[in-house]
Amino acid sequence: MGLDYNIPEFIIERDQDRCIDCQVCQHQCANQVHAYDQDLEKMVAQDIDCVNCHRCVTLCPTNALIIRENPSEYKKNKNWTGNMIENIQKQAATGGILLTGMGNPTAKKIYWDHILLNASQVTNPSIDPLREPMELKTFLGRKPDQIEFDDNGELKDLPPQLELDIPIMFGAMSFGSISINACKSLAKAASDLGLMYNTGEGGLHQDLYQYGQRTIVQVASGRFGVHNEYLNAGAAVEIKVGQGAKPGIGGHLPGEKVGAEVSKTRMIPKGSDALSPAPHHDIYSIEDLRQLIYALKEATDYKKPVSVKIAAVHNVAAIASGIASAGADIIAIDGYRGGTGAAPTMIRDNVGIPVELALAAVDDRLRQEGLRKNVSLVVSGSIRNSADIVKAVALGADAVYIASAALISLGCHMCQKCYTGKCNWGIATQRPELVKRLNPEVGAQRVKNLITGWSHEIKEILGGMGINALESLRGNRLMLRGIDLTEKELEILGIKHAGK
Amino acid sequence: MKRVYAREEYCLGCKLCEVYCVTSHSKSKDIVKAHKLEEITPRIIIESKDNISFALQCRHCEAADCTKACITGAIQKDEETGIVNYDAVRCVGCWTCIMACSYGVIRRDEYGDKVISKCDLCITEEEPACVTNCPNSALEFEERE
C-alpha cells in the first residue's frame, strides 16, 4: 500500500542521564517498543508501536521514561479534529471497522459531575461513622408483598436474595476477554469482601467454582459454557441482553484468544472465534424473555435470583418495565460509558444513553407501575468513585457494578487496546507470559483495598447526611441537587437545582 | 532459617531484582550511580527460557558444598544465622566453589580478577532487596520446612 500515513500517537522521552540500560522496559513491552541498540550503546524506542499503557513507565526503576501525546499539530479545525483525520487514515489503510476497548472517552456530559450531595448542618445531626454503627448491607432480589414469619421467627416464603456487605459488584467480564489471573483476583476479592462478581459470558473456569457463592453466572446470546452445573454453581444467574459499550451487538472474542482453557470453559473448539449473536435468537419479545427467565429459574430450582442486564437505550424505562413484568428479580442497566474488551469505536462512542438518566427514568417508571419492589436495580457504566455510588443509590439504584475501576485497581492504565490481546498488565490477554504478570494474590489485595477505601468514603458521606443506613438513602433524591443542568435534565433526574 | 524462594508462576523476567541487588551492594546505594559509576556483579541470576523465568540466588545450604570445596576457608557457614558467608580477603580466586555449587549461583565477579559474587541475603537490611522490590511478589523471604 506504499506509505503508511499514520504517525506515532505517542512520543517516548527517555532521560539518558537516568537510564541505566537495565532493559526492564524492553522485557515488559509486548508491543516491542523498547530495544537496546548495540551500536549506539543505549536504549532506543519505536514510538509508532507505543499504546501508552504505562507498563514501562511504572516499572522503570529510575523514572527515566515519560510518554507524551505526539505534540505534532494539525491545522486547527473544530470539525475535522486530529482524531477524525487519523481515524480516516486508519480505515483508508485497512478497510476495516475501527476497533477499540474500554469505555466511551468522548467529552460528553457526565451527569454524576453535575449532581451534588447534601450534608447535615445544625437542625439534623451528622453521624460519625468511626464512632457509631453504619449499615451498608444490601439485599438484591424480589421483595415479598407482605412479610410473614414462621413459628421460629424466620421470614416465610422470602424470594431468593443476594446478600451484599457493600452495594458494589464486579461487572461481567468473561474469561477470554480477561485473563484467568484477573478472574481469580476479582473472585477472591468478592469472596473476601462479601460482594459478588460476574462471570461474563465466557463460562466458569474449573478453578473458580470454589467462589460459587459469590458468583453471578451469566447467560448471553452465545450461550458459551452454559450447562446445568454452571447455572447451579453461582448464587444468581444473569441474562445478558445488552452491554452499554455496544448496545445492539454481541460479544466478539477473536480465535487467537481461545486457547485450551478458554476453549474448554466455553465449550468451543480451540482457536475458533467466539461470536455472540446480536440478539438472543429465542428472545424476540417480553414473553420470550419470560420463558428464558423461568427456564433458568426452573433449572436452578427457584433458589437463585435471575437478573437481566440491558444497555441503557432510548426506551429504557419501558423496556425495564417489561423485564420486571417478565419475572426478573434484578435489572442491571449498563450506561453508554460502560467498558468493553472490544467494540466498534463508532458504536461505543455514539450508541446508548447516560446511565444516570436511564436510572432515574427506570426507577420512576417502576414506581409508577407498582413494580419497583419486584426488582432490584443495579447500574453500571461508568461508576468511577464512591461519590458516584452514593449518587446512584440516591437516584434509586440498589447496587452498582464496577468493572473498569476494578481493572484499574489491578493495573489497567486505560490504553484501550484490550482487543489486541497484548495487555502488558496481564489483564486483557491470554498470552501466558503476560497473564503471569498479574499475581492474583496481589491483584485481589489491591481490589480489596480499593473497595475498603470506597466503603469508608460511602460511610463518611452517609454520616455527613445524618443517615446511618444506606437503605435510608435509596431513592432519596432530596439528598441530591443539580448544577449546570437544564430544567428538562432536572426533571428527568427528578432532582432540584442547587439553591432550591 | 529464612531463605528467598522464587515463585516461577509469577516471575515476569523483568530483572528488577538484579537492578536492586546491584544497588544494594553498591557503595553509593544510589540506583543511577551504582549502575553508571560502579562496577558490580549482581548476586542474583535470572534463569529464563521461553515463557518460564525465575530468580535464583545462593540457597545457603545446610551442608554447603562450596564451604567444603573452598581451599582457604573464605566461604564458611555461620552456624548462628545459617548464612553462607564469603570473605573476599581470604579468597584466592581458584573458583573451586563455582564448580562445586550444584545450583550454579556462585559467579565469578565480572569486575574483579579473583573474587566471586554470591548472595549475602542483604544481611544488614530487614529483607533482601530483590524480595522487597519484586513488582509481582514472585520472591518470598520466609522460613520453610
| Tens-level pLDDT at each residue, chain A (500 residues) | 678 888 899 999 999 999 999 999 999 999 999 999 999 999 999 999 999 999 999 999 999 999 999 999 999 999 999 999 999 999 999 999 999 999 999 999 999 999 999 999 998 899 999 999 999 999 999 999 888 899 999 888 899 999 999 999 999 999 999 999 999 999 999 999 999 999 999 999 999 999 999 999 999 999 999 999 999 999 999 999 999 999 999 988 888 889 999 999 999 999 999 999 999 999 999 999 999 999 999 999 999 999 999 999 999 999 999 999 999 999 999 999 999 999 999 999 999 999 999 999 999 999 999 999 999 999 999 999 999 999 999 999 999 999 999 999 999 999 999 999 999 999 999 999 999 999 999 999 999 999 999 999 999 999 999 999 999 999 999 999 999 999 999 999 999 999 99
CATH number of the domain within which B109 lies = 3.30.70.20
Residue B60 — left, alpha, or beta (φ > 0 → left; ψ -120 to 50 → alpha)?
Answer: left
Give yes or no: residues B102 and B90 share one domain.
yes
Number of independent structural domains in chain B: 2
> Which chain B residue is nearest to residue A21, measuring alpha carbons?
B35
The A-side interface with B (CB below 8 A) comprises 17-18, 20-24, 27-28, 59, 61-62, 432-433, 436-439, 441-442
Give yes or no: residues B72 and B111 share one domain.
yes
For residue A496, the cross-strand partners are: A481
Interface check for B124 against chain A (CB to CB < 8 A): the answer is no
Q: A306: exposed, middle or buried (C-beta count within 10 Å: 0-12, 13-18, 19+)? A: buried
State the complex-level ipTM.
Answer: 0.91
pTM (predicted TM-score): 0.95
Q: What are phi and psi of A355, to 5 degrees?
A: -70, -30
Q: Give B8-36 as a DSSP string.
A: GGG-----HHHHHHHHHTSSS--HHHHHH
Q: Give A362-410 as a DSSP string.
A: HHHHHHHTT-GGG-EEEEES---SHHHHHHHHHHT-SEEEESHHHHHHH
Range of the domain at B131: 1-57+122-145
Q: Do B51 and A436 touch (CB under 8 A)?
A: yes
Give yes or no: residues B6 and B51 share one domain.
yes
Q: Do B12 and A21 touch (CB under 8 A)?
A: no
Q: How many CB atoms lie within 10 A of CB A232?
A: 15
Interface check for B10 against chain A (CB to CB < 8 A): the answer is yes
- Name all domains of chain A by residue range, CATH numbers in brackets: 10-96 (3.30.70.20), 115-497 (3.20.20.70)
Q: Do B35 and A439 touch (CB under 8 A)?
A: no
> How far apart are alpha carbons A443 and A432 in whole angstroms?
17
CATH number of the domain within which B127 lies = 3.30.70
> How far apart are alpha carbons A290 and A326 in whole angstroms?
5
> Which chain A residue is nearest to residue B12, measuring alpha carbons?
A437
Provide, as residue numbers in chain B, all residues whose Cβ is less than 8 Å from the Cβ of A433: 13, 51
User: Between A and B, how many residue pairs show a Cβ–Cβ distance under 8 A?
Assistant: 55
Give yes or no: residues B96 and B129 share one domain.
no
Give yes or no: residues B67 and B52 share one domain.
no
For residue A139, the cross-strand partners are: A163
> Which chain A residue is nearest to residue B139, measuring alpha carbons?
A439
